[in-house]
Amino acid sequence: MTGTETGRVGIKVWSDYVCPFCMLAEGPLHEATHDLDVEIEWMPFELRPHPTPTLRPEDEYLPAIWARSVYPTARRMNVDITLPTVSPQPYTRLAFEGYRYAAEHGKGAEYTPRVLRAFFQENRDIGRLDVLGAVAAELGLDETAFTAALTAGTYTEAHQEALRTAAAYRVSVVPTLVVGERHRIEGVPSAAQIRKAVLDAQAEQAVARGAACGIDGC
């Protein structure tokens, strides 16, 4: 059954594991939805896909943007986050393919926040297969099977298809949230913004169900 048929609201969240604002968005997302009937789907968006060079924390850009925006926002939200020293910053394709394994084995909701914490709180290189395997094991996943799947490229095509979905939704910044069919939020949202979007989407779905019942006589 679709979300419209059940009353559950779908929330697509496009993020990248090297984007600090994506980690900052996690708290408001869960605060807003903890008591609502939603289905959160984490979607990939690679800010710098291979072979585009990734950023280096010793260069001027990252420390400047963290000082100007990331750290003040994090302090305001009471989130523990630090500019990682991993240099250059990792590519995230492998981590995203790991998410697909985790989701297939019932750990998708836990995997994304855990990878974000590994990078931004533990300074771990999430571009490395052994680091991702250790994260998977922490979540109770089979580390050997996880590593084998990523080595074999089992989820490469599924990841590429998900990236094509991002293009179809014209995602250009992360985080980007799409709530229901038409409510779009770009950047770090407040819990109030997300909650309003979910409640509005619920109301729209109720109207749609009522109209369908009027036609079909349900």
Q: How far apart are CA 52 and CA 54, in angstroms?
A: 6
Q: Is the pLDDT of residue 22 over 60?
A: yes
Global confidence as pTM: 0.91
Q: Is the pLDDT of residue 27 over 50?
A: yes
Q: Is the pLDDT of residue 6 over 70?
A: no
Beta bridge partners of 38: 9
- pLDDT tens digits for range 198-212: 999 999 999 987 776
Average pLDDT rounded to a whole number, residues 47-55: 97
CATH for 3-216 is 3.40.30.10
The two structure tokens encoding residue 28: 């408001």
Q: How far apart are CA 40 and CA 33, in angstroms?
A: 9
Q: Is the pLDDT of residue 4 over 80?
A: no
Q: How far apart are CA 162 and CA 78, in angstroms?
A: 32
Q: Which pLDDT score, from 0 to 100, does residue 127 have?
A: 98
Percent of the chain with pLDDT over 70: 94
| Beta carbons within 8 Å of 147's beta carbon, 6+ residues apart | 129, 130, 133, 136
Q: Which pLDDT score, from 0 to 100, does residue 132 have?
A: 98
- pLDDT tens digits for range 119-156: 999 999 999 999 999 999 999 999 999 999 999 999 99
| Beta carbons within 8 Å of 193's beta carbon, 6+ residues apart | 28, 32, 185
Q: Where are the domains of the chain?
A: 3-216
Average pLDDT rounded to a whole number, residues 99-127: 97
